[in-house]
Structure 1
Amino acid sequence: MNKSILFTENELVTLLKTNNKAAYEYLYDHYAPALYGIVRKIVKDDSRADDVMQDSFIKIWKHMASYDAEKGSLFTWMLNITRRTAIDKLRADCKFENDLKWEAVRENDLGNHAVFTPAPATLDLKSIVEKLLPEKKQLIELVYFEGYTHEEASEHLCLPLGTVKSRIRNAMKELRKVFDVSSPTAQFA
């Protein structure tokens, strides 16, 4: 493509909506480097970033007719598509990796040295935890019953570490209310 050609955004959009090859080459040449930098910060891997860029430009090409200049600039529209594609890729990869890494350990794999003797005071703790909201219950089970660290739970569930810590803190507050028999709210709301 002739590198000396310059388009205004309106001209470029008009040509893109007619599937003009030169306009798509121009679009890629002028926008891909900035988009790639953002994708690379999200997925943190060149190979994944290349896949995201390819998927993003296919989506841009397929959905060009839906672009509305009144809602924002062409770059912002493309950035949103690319960012969502990168996040979707990251989540899909994270789920796939977690499915591989986090297998349940069977009791017969543990051997004789792994004996669990619960304290009498905690015998009914699991039934109390069952009353928590599912997202809190899952974290309490991972961290307190299965021995995950907050970071491991964050990776396993593909949640930000801050979200994991907040949910655990809130769940612990709810559990404290249950065990505080002097409290008038000694049960779940």
Structure 2
Amino acid sequence: MLGGVDDNDVRLRDALTGGCEEALAEVYDTHSPTVFGLALRLTGDRGAAEDIAQEVFVELWMRPERYDPRRTRLRSWLCMITRRRAIDWLRRRRTQEHYAPVLAEPAAAAGIEDDVLTASLAAQVRTAVDELPSQHRQAILLAYYQGLTYQQVARALNIPEGTAKSRLRSGLRRLADALAAAGFDDLAVAKHTD
């Protein structure tokens, strides 16, 4: 790091801003175990950790300009986003558990809009993953839901590493496109990823 700025983080951010899928694959390969592990440790729920990890990388892909390498390292920024998402998930879960009987009443409709939007986004992400072509879905499920690196995905699927990277990049792009087509544009996703 020169003058507090990591040149590699700057390179990755610039590449992501330019829509470079290889940069996303590189960030994912480097940081997905950390993001997933942190989400799992904070939530104690594997399914929630998988969803949170997926949403963190979708956010990075859709809004890379939100990351500023002059302010913090990419790993730290990803962990901060993961932590925020995990805390939001924990708050929603506590609220749902504590107020489940009250939420069933019509008067409780105020304040659940964010929960509905977040649940809708999570459901749409799951649907978009289910609708991916088989080869992309397999790669995404192994990487995001089992926390494998692209090298491990390649071994698990018995394919070259470059093919695994390509399937992950393409799968992420298709997920982002599917979310945008479903009405979760950049503003909606950004609002619910802080």
TM-score of the aligned structures, taking structure 2 as reference length: 0.46
More helix by share: 2
Rg: which structure is higher? 1
Between the two structures, name the one with larger relative contact order (CA 8 Å, sep ≥ 6).
Answer: 2
